[in-house]
Structures are given as structure tokens and as C-alpha cells.
């Protein structure tokens, strides 16, 4: 079962007040109704049942639902919801789908989206028929609503952005796509739909993903530090070899000789580790900065000897 189906199944079971039911039903029907204004289609049996119950409760009539098999690879049936002819016009006018001349109304009536609760309900209805959300386990966070009518799309984008969701709108070949890409915004959108179970799932997966990303970054950082330590140590050993080639180590300054000998003895140690080792073994405290100063002198000495040879 897809994450989108999980969300839709959850919100298809919500119990809401009458005005919210009207707004939700309008959002669904306005974006699903056939050109003949008598047929609704969904692949989700719970959504079909919800539309059936909403129409029956709000308008006191039953609708006919026909299960129709498909030839698609999924082989899942689609559900055809037939509006009752005797009340079709009244229902569609009441829901702001058509005007008195049976012309389609391209954007929702204001009374359907006059309060925050009504807006949430309308968005639920729209999402039930036209929305989808990527599973957060996938590589990309993405929510989209694909609509047929430009004015409807503009209104939906505005409603989403009243909740500071930063929704974007694109004109696509198959319609008008409103989308969210930010994980925080998608989570907030699910809260707006009242899909609390989906929010918990989304946030749990998101926490795991973020934890993995942090762990990977730390591992990469640690590896980079190890590589840098090895590179620095190898460079220091190279300069030590130059010095040993030209000079008697025993004649060197005691501090320089000490750094040289300990670097050869502990070739993979970082400067911090090497300073701690020297301090512990000699009883004379030396800081990382102080040890680094000695190695700078070793480098200068080696480069002078090398240049003199050239």
C-alpha cells in the first residue's frame, strides 16, 4: 500500500461537522465530476464509501456505486459513483460545482472556504481525488496536487499558502500541478488534513533519515580528518628523512630531536595524540601548538638542506 493510500484511508474515516462535510464534498466533486456532471470515479473503496455517506447524510439520497474491473497491470477495480438524477442539479448547485444554468464554476464559492476548518476540509476533498505524497523512505520529499482548471489551482495554492506552506504552481501538459518539496511543509500539510497517523509515520522516518545523514556526514568528516593526519605525518617523515640524510641527528637541538624521534616512533598519530604521548612518556608537558612549532622548524631545516643540495 502506498503512503498516499495510507493518508487517504485515514482521512476518509474522519468524523467532522456538517459545514466541513459540505466543503470536503465540494472539493472532491468539483475536481472529479465527469463532463456530464453525473459520474465520480475513484480507485479507493474507502473514498467511494465516504462520498456515498456524505451525500446520503447531507442530501438524504443514496448514490449508486459500481465496481468496474480494469485491464491495467495493477488489476485493481475502479469505483463509479453515480449521482441521483432527481437531486443531481440541487446537489451540484449547493456544492458550488455548477451555476443555475448548469455551467461549471471554475473556482470554489467563498462560503465553502470561509473559515480555517472549512479550508482544511476543502483541501481534504481535493487531496482525496487529486493529491499524492511520496513515501518519506524514498530519496525525495514531494507532495503534489494535479488539477484540471487554472482558477481552481490558483485558489488551492492560495489556501495552502495561508498556512505558510510555500506551495508552488506549475503548468504541466496534463494540468496544473501544485507541489511542496520541503519536509517541514509536507508534515504541516498532513497536519492540516488531520492525518495524524500519517504525520507520526512521516516524522519517524524523517528522524531516521536525518540521523543517517548526520552519521554519514560525521563518518565522512572523520575519514577526512584521518586522511589529513596521515598526509601530515607522511610529509613530516619526508622532511625528517631529508634531515637525516644530511645531518647527524644527535647534533640537533634536543626539542627538535625529540619531535623527530617520536614522529618516527608513532607514524600514524595526530599532532594532538603525539603531544599527549610525549608529555606522558617524558614528563615534560608539550601542547599541540608547541609540537606543531617544532615541526615547522623541521620543515624549514629540511627545505634549506634540500635547496642547498640543488
In eight-state DSSP terms, residue 283 is S
- Look at residue 213 and tell me if it is in a domain: no
Q: What is the arithmetic mean of pLDDT over 156-171?
A: 94
Tally of domains in the chain: 2
Same domain, 227 and 269: yes
Rounded to whole angstroms, the Cα distance separating 77 from 69 reads 4
Same domain, 127 and 229: no
Chain mean pLDDT for the chain? 89
Q: What percent of the chain has pLDDT over 90?
A: 52
- The per-residue pLDDT for 179 is 95
173 in Cβ contact with 57 (< 8 Å): no
Higher pLDDT, 217 or 192: 192
Please say which residue of 178, 194, 210 terminates a domain: 194
pLDDT at position 37 over 70: yes
Instruction: Tell me what percent of the chain is helix, strand and coil, each rounded to the nearest 5.
Output: 60, 10, 30
Confidence of residue 109 (pLDDT cuts 50, 70, 90): very high
- The per-residue pLDDT for 75 is 67
45 in Cβ contact with 86 (< 8 Å): no
- 63-85 residues labelled b (16+ CB within 10 A) or e (exposed): bebeeeeeeeeeeeeebbbebee
- Look at residue 205 and tell me if it is in a domain: no
Q: What is the arithmetic mean of pLDDT over 158-165?
A: 95
- Say which range, 19-33, 62-76, 111-125, 131-145, has the weakest mean pLDDT: 62-76
Same domain, 92 and 147: yes
- pLDDT tens per residue, range 16-27: 999 999 999 999
Confidence of residue 71 (pLDDT cuts 50, 70, 90): low
Amino acid at each position: 500500500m502506498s503512503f498516499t493510500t495510507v493518508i487517504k484511508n485515514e482521512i476518509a474515516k474522519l468524523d467532522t461537522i456538517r459545514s466541513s462535510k459540505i466543503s470536503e464534498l465540494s472539493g472532491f466533486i468539483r475536481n472529479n465530476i465527469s463532463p456530464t456532471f453525473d459520474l465520480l470515479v475513484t480507485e479507493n473503496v474507502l473514498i467511494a464509501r465516504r462520498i456515498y455517506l456524505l451525500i446520503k447524510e447531507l442530501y438524504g439520497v443514496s448514490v449508486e456505486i459500481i465496481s468496474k474491473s480494469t485491464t491495467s497491470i495493477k488489476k485493481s477495480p475502479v469505483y463509479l459513483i453515480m449521482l441521483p438524477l432527481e437531486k443531481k442539479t440541487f446537489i451540484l448547485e449547493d456544492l458550488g460545482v455548477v451555476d443555475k444554468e448548469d455551467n461549471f464554476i471554475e473556482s470554489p464559492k467563498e462560503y465553502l472556504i470561509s473559515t480555517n476548518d472549512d479550508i482544511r476540509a476543502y483541501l481534504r476533498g481535493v487531496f482525496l481525488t487529486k493529491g499524492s505524497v511520496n513515501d518519506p523512505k524514498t530519496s525525495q520529499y514531494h507532495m503534489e496536487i494535479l488539477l484540471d482548471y487554472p482558477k481552481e489551482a490558483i485558489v488551492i495554492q492560495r489556501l495552502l499558502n495561508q498556512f505558510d506552506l510555500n506551495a508552488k504552481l506549475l503548468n504541466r501538459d496534463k494540468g496544473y500541478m501544485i507541489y511542496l518539496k520541503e519536509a517541514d511543509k509536507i508534515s504541516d500539510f498532513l497536519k492540516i488534513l488531520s492525518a495524524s497517523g500519517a504525520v507520526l509515520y512521516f516524522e519517524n522516518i524523517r528522524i531516521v533519515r536525518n540521523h543517517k545523514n548526520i552519521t554519514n556526514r560525521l563518518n565522512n568528516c572523520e575519514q577526512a580528518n584521518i586522511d589529513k593526519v596521515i598526509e601530515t605525518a607522511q610529509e613530516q617523515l619526508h622532511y625528517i628523512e631529508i634531515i637525516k640524510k644530511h645531518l647527524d641527528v644527535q647534533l640537533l637541538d634536543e626539542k627538535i630531536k625529540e619531535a623527530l624521534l617520536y614522529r618516527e616512533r608513532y607514524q600514524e598519530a595526530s599532532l594532538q595524540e603525539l603531544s599527549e604521548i610525549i608529555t606522558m612518556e617524558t614528563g615534560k608537558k608539550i601542547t599541540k601548538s608547541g609540537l606543531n612549532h617544532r615541526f615547522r622548524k623541521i620543515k624549514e631545516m629540511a627545505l634549506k638542506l634540500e635547496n642547498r643540495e640543488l
